[in-house]
Structure 1
Amino acid sequence: MTSLAEHPPADYDERQALCEAARALYISLERPLDTMHRLFWSVSLSPPSMRLVQSQSFEPLLIGPCQVAQLPVVQVGIDMGVFRSMAADPGKNWTIEMLAEKVGSDQVLLYRLLRYLGSFGLLQENPDSTYSATATTAWLATEGAEGGVKHYQQNISPVLAALPETLKQQGYRNPSDSSHTAFQLAHHTDKPAYSWVPPDHSGITAFVAFMKAQREGQKAWTDSFPIAPLKLSDSELEGGRTLFVDVGGSTGQQCMALRQQYPSLHGGVVLQEQERIIAAVNKEALASYGIDAQAHDFFQEQPVKGAKAYYMRNIMHDWPDGRCIAILQRLRDACADDSMVLIDEMVLPDQGASWKQAQKDIQMMAALAAMERSEAQWKELLAKAGLKIQQVCTYDKEMGDSVIIAVKA
């Protein structure tokens, strides 16, 4: 184990398997005192044998919504410029005096912070009482990581803390109203999460930066999707049939990815979003890919009829079942007999979900009265909207990210 910690394997799948095995081993070995520390102060399985493995990984495990102590301390490190300063000179061994002068900090405070950060592998504490950057330090110096830490520290952590009282007040019923969740209790608002504006507007910038960066380096749905069923015949092209509609597609990243990955696919591609977002997108860039931008509310009638595919990415997990059914029914009403509804979401196993999947589900419950769904739950939801699953195309096994191909029932 010590050898693996010092020389972790390069293969991604092997690293993931070892991480999960190490977590399982640690849990099996911990005493009640260890459990107390894990639950109350860190909520992150980072025993000494795992620190070096974590320090060599860019994987953003450190911004989960329950990092009781780590998240605030990391935020302090970001605010002080510790990670950016160290990452800017990755080969340097920093003394307390050198780094304190660089970031303008009291030395005693900085020593205590570095001691804590080093104990969790967020930077390297060296035998000669110096500190150096690791891959994790470099990641924490990026705009996306900084945005993620701030978003979870300011916006999400209070929501998770309010979940017990919220569920108690609601008689321990599964949340189904996005206007009555732990989010409203935590932030003292009557607005749903997506209508809420934080008092500190920098929280919005942080959220946007995190959302842009959170999937960097991950597999894309276009890499493994069976593209043949999407192709339009010559007669369909001559008739002007639309190929692909990205419903709620933000600024059009997935539309452009489809065009780039499959330039031989012909037919119209439409990006649909709320009017305020469409007003801000780069229409010239979209037009260069043959993408039309259209303002649309997906709770209203779908204006593009009979498209070959209606695609939604991470829309359903933001809404409780009733609202999801309303969205899906609008799409079903617009479908031709051979149309497909492509749902790009996590598909959890019916049993044995990973801690990452289960943690994400609890976050969606607390903030939005929504959920991450298992395959059985997807089947039930789609049936209520008059649809059925034709195929599930999983492109990221770790998180269960998949494209569900649904058709008229």
Structure 2
Amino acid sequence: MAAQLRELAQNPPQDANERRELHEAARLLYMSLETPFDAMHRLFWSIYQLPATQIGVDMGLFRTLAEDARVEWTLADLSTRLKVDRTLLYRVLRYLASFGLVSESTDGTYHANSTTQWLSTPGAEGGTKHYLKTISPVAHALPETLRQQGYQNPTNHLDTAFQKAHNTEVSAYSWTPSDPTVIPAFLEFMKSQRASQRSWTEKFPLETLRLSQSDLEANRVVFVDVGGASGYQCVSLRQSHPELSGRIVVQDQEPVIARANEAELKKHQIESMAHNFFQPQPIKLAKAYYLRNIMHDWPDAKCVEILRQLRDAMAEDSVILIDENVLPDVGASWKQAQKDMQMISVLAAVERSVSEWHHLLKSAGLKVKKIHTYDEDIGDSVIEAALA
């Protein structure tokens, strides 16, 4: 059986669904075979993976290997190219190769694999720095923070492990790090994440948003992107579904809207508007109010405030489209559970399960019409909500 698994490792399936199912099965197999000694190594020494990756980024190691994945580098040539000590490089490579971040051949040479290629991209480099410098200290501060709070579920975004780790009284979104390279790294990481994500329009039936002739004559707004930053989702919607008639509006706070590309928005017939989503919604009776990754940044009480502002603006046939992770009530994946731990520690917020979404919407005077899942791997879904 071990030989068959090794052969499969050399020739993994190319189909995305099959690969995902096999990956999860292999993970479960690994955990079932793990001894307490193995668990000790996984838990206690895994803290070095992120720092070692940052060393590889700083050395230029991943970019050098990724220039041509077919090239096999000797330790001597790589040491000369990177201008780093040969013994140190050998030890770093040995560690990175043991976790599959680079590939080591039987003759002692090194080359890039798919993970190496990814680590050479600006988005991965930015994510490495963001998680090492911003998130890692927060994760380490979480146990003491929860102990001091008497192990109550965090609900105050100004009293989290983030404030403790970075010695600040402001929220994570208002914080200015002392290292000026951290924020650009975070933005590069977020940009790369958006580029690789699937679109909610793949599964959501957009005919739901079709306006009647009388709606069009009344100049009704079809789509409001609430807290939509630069309007990326609005532009994407116009480009992928040019047949969708009606006004489209992106809203965010004044400093964010001021940075939007007005020429690009105008080109796609998208209006921009400064608005704080905790204040009354100025656009009344829109067909759809869309919120992407807003709710998971806030505890329930704040989410109810946001939703009630939209509820008060809705028509009978209006919907609120909440684009978020939806976790199962039982059996959440490790990817989903990890994201929830980050929300606890950084924002006193939450990645919600199916029943939690139903409870939250009911608290705001709304109901779940349907949940449209468009990425099963992490549970990305559009929750279609209507007036209760």
TM-score by length of 1: 0.93
| SS at structure 2 position matched to 1:139 | helix
Give deviations 1:39-73, integer Å, cap 9, x for gaps: 1112xxxxxxxxxxxxxxxxxxxxxxxxx111000
Residue 139 of structure 1 is matched in structure 2 by 118
Residue 312 of structure 2 is matched in structure 1 by 333
Residue 9 of structure 1 is matched in structure 2 by 13
- Cα offset, 1:89, TM superposition: 2.2
- Cα offset, 1:217, TM superposition: 3.3
What is the rounded CA distance, in whole Å, between the counterparts of 1:70 and 1:310 in structure 2? 41
- Cα offset, 1:213, TM superposition: 0.8
Residue 323 of structure 1 is matched in structure 2 by 302
- Cα offset, 1:387, TM superposition: 0.7
| SS at structure 2 position matched to 1:193 | coil
Paired residue type of 1:283: E
Paired residue type of 1:75: Q
Matches within 5 A, 1:1-400: 1-42=5-46, 68-400=47-379
Are the equivalent residues in 2 in contact too, given 1:148–1:206 (CA < 8 A)?
yes
- Cα offset, 1:103, TM superposition: 1.2
Paired residue type of 1:29: L
Among all aligned residue pairs of Structure 1 and Structure 2, give the percentage whose two residues are the same amino acid. Answer: 57
What is the rounded CA distance, in whole Å, between the counterparts of 1:214 and 1:317 in structure 2? 17
May I ask how many residue pairs the two structures share in their alignment?
A: 384
What is the rounded CA distance, in whole Å, between the counterparts of 1:210 and 1:190 in structure 2? 25
What is the rounded CA distance, in whole Å, between the counterparts of 2:366 and 2:275 in structure 1? 22
| SS at structure 1 position matched to 2:326 | strand
Paired residue type of 2:330: Q
Structure 1: give runs of 5+ residues left out of the alignment: 43-67
Are the equivalent residues in 2 in contact too, given 1:222–1:257 (CA < 8 A)?
no
- Cα offset, 1:216, TM superposition: 3.1
- Cα offset, 1:215, TM superposition: 3.8
Give deviations 1:187-236, integer Å, cap 9, x for gaps: 11111111111111211001101111114333210111111110001110
What is the rounded CA distance, in whole Å, between the counterparts of 2:352 and 2:180 in structure 1? 32
| SS at structure 1 position matched to 2:230 | coil
Give deviations 1:174-199, integer Å, cap 9, x for gaps: 00000000001111111111111111
| SS at structure 2 position matched to 1:90 | coil
What is the rounded CA distance, in whole Å, between the counterparts of 2:286 and 2:327 in structure 1? 28
| SS at structure 2 position matched to 1:214 | helix
Paired residue type of 2:41: H
Are the equivalent residues in 2 in contact too, given 1:181–1:369 (CA < 8 A)?
yes
What is the rounded CA distance, in whole Å, between the counterparts of 1:196 and 1:299 in structure 2? 20
- Cα offset, 1:162, TM superposition: 0.6
- Cα offset, 1:94, TM superposition: 0.7
Give deviations 1:55-99, integer Å, cap 9, x for gaps: xxxxxxxxxxxxx11100000100110001111122111111111
Give deviations 1:124-175, integer Å, cap 9, x for gaps: 1011111001111110000100011111000001111111001100000000
Q: What is the RMSD of the two structures over their aligned residues, measured on CA atoms?
A: 0.8
Structure 2: give runs of 5+ residues left out of the alignment: none
| SS at structure 2 position matched to 1:128 | coil
